[in-house]
Amino acid sequence: MNINKPVEYDAGRYDVVVIGAGHAGCEAALAAARLGCRTALLALNLGRVAFMPCNPSIGGPAKGHLVREIDALGGAMGQAADKTSLQARMLNTGKGPAVQALRVQSDKAAYSREMRRLLFAEPNLRLYQGMAERLLAHGGAVAGVVTHTGARFTAPNVILTSGTYLRGRVIIGETLYAGGPDGEQTALTLADDLRAWGFRLGRFKTGTPPRLARRSVDLSGWIPQRGDAARRGFSFLPQPSIFWGDDPARQELCWLGYTNERTHELIRANLHRAPLYTGVVRGVGPRYCPSIEDKVVRFAARPAHQVFLEPEGLGSEELYAAGISTSLPEEIQTRLVRTIAGLEKAELVKPGYAIEYDYILPRQLTPGMAVKECAGLFSAGQINGTSGYEEAAAQGLLAGINAARRARGEAPFIPGRADGYIGVLADDIVSKELLEPYRLLTARAEYRLLLRQDNADARLTPLGREIGLVTDERWRVFQAKMERREAVLTRWEGQRFSPRDENLRAVLTAAGTAMPTGGAGAAELIRRPEITAKEITALMPDLPDMPADELDEAVTLIKYAGYIAQQELNVAKARKKERRLLPPDLDYGSITGLAHEARQRLREVCPRDLGQAARVSGVTPADITALLVHLERRRRDGSTDG
């Protein structure tokens, strides 16, 4: 890219350098700096840090859980989303406490500004706009980064969070150009540099829908989508929205409408110009995020598809058209949008596009996001083959924590699958084969009932405190909450109701459930499906004062006690396997009884423990037995073969 090679100069020595200032990079840089490391953050464009090139929303099932976990550990995403919230909704409220999840529509520009403010507020953090061109190495370990203008950042820890920018290629119909998401430039040379370093890279694809000018659409026939009537936020330290404060009635609206047969006909008539079907797109796209052309082909019987119009921001005047992601030619996109009722005169502000990019096969990483073959190098976010702001932020937080821990000479922090979705995510991507960009789903969590969004703090804040990211304020709030919970649970355990209790009779009758013949304990009553927090408050008006969600959580713990105990038992069983650590120098090639495929996969993944080994794609129970036998033999030999 440079015609002349720039003269390198010393841009300083750091403990940690982060390349990329997206959602992963921001969390990584903040975590490292807050843990006391001298940190530098390199961004292609400092005006667009933590930018959201896709949906203007954060959260949803599994993703919302993840944001709560990031917050519980002391990360930034939850608070930034709450502060810039335009609308917040709890999804899945009728489906049980384990799968309830918050989704927040955020103002993109405000979110970026808020994150930028947090970055600049960190005294240990230096921000720098520039393109990382190559990594420096010294004796098998990373030693720093050089930018395209010759700035040399020297550091023993480098975190790669360059997202979809690696050899990015944007596709809109017949138009193809090298570029990053949403009009950004692409990082061209870094991919070549990584390849030269021996990284195995894959190629994925993703896409976005067009953006429309708000002034050009008529939403009178559309169904308004409102935020919840109750105040909702991700953070365990509540942050008022800069847009609606503490008054949910002032939340922004989203809008629901539908495509129709005319839309579908137009798409079918132009499939020969759809890059997805002409073979132009080679990267593998996610199944969970099909383009509208894909939906029309695969679900031909459906007469209409949903379109959600979501505000990109309060001042932006742009609407994000969720549901019609497309890479059809611009001209067709305009006509397509205008077949939809209310959008007949819609102005396309930005066309939808597909983007292909390189990613690092994440089997090359440890579950702590460290690159196995290169000490001090970490990678996090979409560059690891995942999709989603939340997945990126979680990995960034993990990488930032572990880079800092390495700088301080501490052992890495590896969250388990029973600790949180963050553990599920990390373990999945380093153990399993990715067939498409990885998206977290609640269905991927085997202990879903334990990983609720209401207890993310109980699961992770003590760990965050140990790590050093949980501030005194957060710790105090957390402890007070735990004390309230404990007090209520103890109270319920001891309380009994007499069969002659008239208040009890009144409450139970109103709830439509029978009076217990011989009296009943509080817990016993709470387990009845008809009894909710409302009845409980009526039965025990003198309960200590606590927020509604805390009371709900305590009720969940009682109602679900049996299932929760069962899952905890399963966790204990799995932990046994996790305690059997696998030596990192294990030569899988020499273990007799291992199938060929297992040998290859295990060598690649290098699992940390027996539990992870069993989850590696292609490893059978017989292979695990062979591994056990080998370990025992090795132990008896006194590790002479190691």
Positions in the binding site for another protein (CB under 8 A) = 54-55, 60-62, 91-92, 94-99, 209, 286-290, 295, 298-299, 302, 305-306, 308, 322-323, 325, 441-444, 448-449, 529, 560, 563, 567, 592-593, 595, 620, 622, 625-626, 628-629, 632-633, 636
Q: How far apart are CA 382 and CA 166, in angstroms?
A: 10
Minimum distance of another protein from residue 295's CB (angstroms) = 5
Minimum distance of another protein from residue 97's CB (angstroms) = 7
On whether the CB atoms of residues 161 and 18 are closer than 8 A, the answer is yes
How crowded is the C-beta side of 5, counted as CA atoms within 13 Å? 4
Helix 548-559, helix 561-578: angle, nearest 10: 80
CB-nearer residue toward another protein: 178 or 622 = 622
Helix (H) or strand (E) holding 626: helix 621-636
How crowded is the C-beta side of 479, counted as CA atoms within 13 Å? 7
CB-nearer residue toward another protein: 199 or 560 = 560
Q: Which residues contact 106 (CB under 8 A, 6 or more apart)?
A: 52, 56, 57, 58, 80, 81, 84, 85, 86
Q: How many CB atoms lie within 10 A of CB 122?
A: 16
Minimum distance of another protein from residue 231's CB (angstroms) = 21
Give the residues across from 137 on adjacent strands.
142
Minimum distance of another protein from residue 500's CB (angstroms) = 27
Minimum distance of another protein from residue 238's CB (angstroms) = 24
Minimum distance of another protein from residue 83's CB (angstroms) = 24
Minimum distance of another protein from residue 267's CB (angstroms) = 14
Q: How far apart are CA 279 and CA 353, in angstroms?
A: 15
Minimum distance of another protein from residue 594's CB (angstroms) = 9
Minimum distance of another protein from residue 73's CB (angstroms) = 23
CB-nearer residue toward another protein: 7 or 300 = 300
Burial class (CB in 10 A: 0-12, 13-18, 19+), 614: middle
Q: How far apart are CA 611 and CA 543, in angstroms?
A: 43
CB-nearer residue toward another protein: 40 or 296 = 296
CB-nearer residue toward another protein: 380 or 626 = 626
Q: How far apart are CA 49 and CA 458, in angstroms?
A: 31
Q: How far apart are CA 605 and CA 627, in angstroms?
A: 15
Distance of CA 468 to the CA centre of its chain: 22
CB-nearer residue toward another protein: 245 or 583 = 583
CB-nearer residue toward another protein: 13 or 444 = 444
CB-nearer residue toward another protein: 187 or 440 = 440
Helix/strand/coil (H/E/C) assignment for every residue in 537-582: HHHCCCCCCCCHHHHHHHHHHHHCHHHHHHHHHHHHHHHHHHCCEC
Q: How far apart are CA 151 and CA 142, in angstroms?
A: 16
Minimum distance of another protein from residue 571's CB (angstroms) = 14
